[in-house]
Amino acid sequence: MGSAPDDRTARARVRDAALELFAAHGEDRVTMRQVAELADVSPALVIHHFGSKAGLREAVVEHVHTWMDELFDLSADTGLAEDMQAGEWSSIAEVLQQALPEGSPVIPYLRRLMMTGDPVATQLLRDWHRRTVEIFRAWDTAGTLIAGPDPQTRAAMAMSADLGTLLLADHWRQVLGYDPLHGDGLTRWADEAMRFYAAILPVPDTGADSAIGARPPSPEEAS
């Protein structure tokens, strides 16, 4: 049985090959010839499309940035916020499963990039943080999340936890004995994450009293 046809353009194959090699070995240790060999094109074609290794790197970063933007677009869905508020993880897990296909080089690439102190990594983080703050504020307005008095710092704390999951996933697989990013392991991780984040997830108004996730009363309300 033959493999499925690869309908990517030559440019996309080269970019994806570079992403895979950069993730596995680091950018400094990868040559244009190695990228060409993995993409099954000539080195001249790589030069034709990207001009230089710097151009190829820029294309890889832009691809990862687009992936992040698409993930944020999905996360901004108000239905997703309502599912979080209700403690329904299934649709959220589906979003993550689609965004993080098993074996994708995006996560190991980000792991390497974030550890280098590269200004590109800082800019990605800055953009990621800006979008997170926007979503926190929008969800706070909708009553599905408590952004708190300092949403910038709260978003950074949430991102630190999320990035820790992504960047340490290989280690967590060994420590915990399950994969926190895929399959049943993702569900197990997510269930505990929902309890962990309950303090900023208001309970939906069902007419029943519940202390979990409720917004703390103000001093005036408590008196």
HEC states along the chain? CCCCCCCCCHHHHHHHHHHHHHHHHCHHHCCHHHHHHHHCCCHHHHHHHHCCHHHHHHHHHHHHHHHHHHHHHHHCCHHHHHHHHHCCCHHHHHHHHHHCCCCCCHHHHHHHHHHHCCHHHHHHHHHHHHHHHHHHHHHHHCCCCCCCCCHHHHHHHHHHHHHHHHHCHHHHHHHHCCCCCCHHHHHHHHHHHHHHCHHHCCCCCCCCCCCCCCCCCCHHHHC
Q: Which domain holds residue 36?
A: 9-51
Report the pLDDT value the prediction gives residue 82, as an integer from 0 to 100.
64
Per-residue model confidence (pLDDT) at position 73: 79
Low-confidence ranges of the chain (pLDDT < 50): 1-4, 89-91, 206-223
Q: What is the structure's pLDDT at 52?
A: 94
User: What is residue 186's predicted lDDT score, i.e. its pLDDT?
Assistant: 83
Do residues 134 and 171 share a domain? yes
pLDDT at residue number 94: 57
- If one counts the domains in the chain, the total is 2
Residues 73, 44 within the same domain: no
Give residue 161's pLDDT.
Answer: 85
- Where does a domain end: 51, 69, 85? 51
**Do 26 and 100 belong to one domain?**
no
43 and 66 assigned to the same domain: no
In a domain, 175, yes or no: yes
Residue 135 domain flag: yes
94: in domain: yes
User: Do 129 and 34 share a structural domain?
Assistant: no
**pLDDT score of 195:** 78
